[in-house]
Chains A and B, each alone.
Chain A
Amino acid sequence: MSSPQLMKPDYRRAEHEAIRLLNESGIFEPPVNPVQIAHTIGVSVNFVNFSGESEGVAGLYDPAKNVIYVNQGEAGVRQTFTIAHELGHKVLHEEWAKSEAYKVLWRDPTRQAKDRWEQEANAFAANLLMPRQMVDSYREYPISVVAKIFAVSKDVAGFRMKYLYGI
């Protein structure tokens, strides 16, 4: 059997779980508020400041307290993605998230780990905040408008539109 680290990311499962969570939360129209979703599955979200070396942390999940900590200094459209990403770890990788192998989410993308867990959490976040069935109604709009409607950054909206429609 191959090591979990060498396994390919399971994007289909990430999408399936994100859609299931949206349906359970009764959210069918944008914007998706990830704080509301976190509360529906019993996860608290705390907005905090970090000091010292951890100033660059965007967010992290603490499975012991079932809390997601989000950097208060980030823009709102980045906080939505951070919470959705950490929710991905909670939903997809609960056991792994308890281990020492878990990595926090950094504001600087170059510092970020790029293993399968992070890729799956990113896919989960993209599907949670911008699910295809919601984005379909806005595919003709400019990316800047789509980003505002879905409360995500232009980068996230651009990647998502490119992935879904090649634009």
Chain B
Amino acid sequence: MASERETALGAVVAQTPAEPPPLEKAISEASSLAEQTKQLQLTHAHAIAMRNADLGWFGRIFGAEPQAAIVIAFIVVACGLIAAGGLWWVAYKNGSNSAFWSGEAHIALGAVTTALGYVFGRGSKDTPPKA
């Protein structure tokens, strides 16, 4: 009995020496798409590098200009609340100087209030006025 290969070779009815259009077309389309994709990747990488250069070290930590103030205000709120809590705890534990530590806690709370006022004040400023 003939092998699969012998049967298939016996069934060959037409031969073309060069690459046929299907494979040629697939390779050519793939080459141009790969090239386009590479260019896009390079442009994207360049844009990120430029953005990082523009931001500087401060911007990389706190974000670009529009967000930096809000990020810093939130950090002040968070730190102020933690500080106020800590100072009240010290005031509670330290009976003789409790008035002093309580006063310090109120100062920290003042910073929190100011920062919150900035966040919400900016929020209302950014909202366009109703016609």
Using CB atoms and an 8 Å cutoff, list the residues of chain A in contact with chain B. 29-31, 33, 35, 45-55, 57, 60, 62, 69-70, 72, 74-77, 79-80, 100, 102-104, 137-138, 141, 145, 148-151
Contacts of A30 in B (CB 8 A): 30, 34
Contacts of B26 in A (CB 8 A): 31, 75-77, 79-80, 151
Q: How far is the CA of A31 from the CA of B22 in the complex (A)?
A: 15
Partner of A48, one of B13, B25, B30, B34: B13
Q: How far is the CA of A79 from the CA of B23 in the complex (A)?
A: 6
Q: Is the interface of A mostly helix, strand, loop or mixed?
A: mixed
The count of chain B contact residues (Cβ–Cβ below 8 Å) is: 31
Q: How far is the CA of A45 from the CA of B4 in the complex (A)?
A: 19
Interface residues of B in 10-65 (CB under 8 A from A): 10-17, 19-27, 29-31, 33-34, 37-38, 41
Q: Would you call B3 an interface residue if the criterion is a C-beta within 8 Å of the partner chain's C-beta atoms?
A: yes
Q: How far is the CA of A26 from the CA of B23 in the complex (A)?
A: 20
A51→B11 contact, CB < 8 A: yes
The smallest C-beta distance from B44 to any residue of chain A, in angstroms, reads 11
The 10 closest A-B pairs by CB, nearest first: A76-B26, A31-B30, A54-B11, A76-B22, A151-B30, A76-B23, A54-B8, A79-B23, A47-B20, A49-B14
Contacts of A137 in B (CB 8 A): 41
Contacts of B4 in A (CB 8 A): 60, 102-104
Q: How far is the CA of A47 from the CA of B22 in the complex (A)?
A: 11
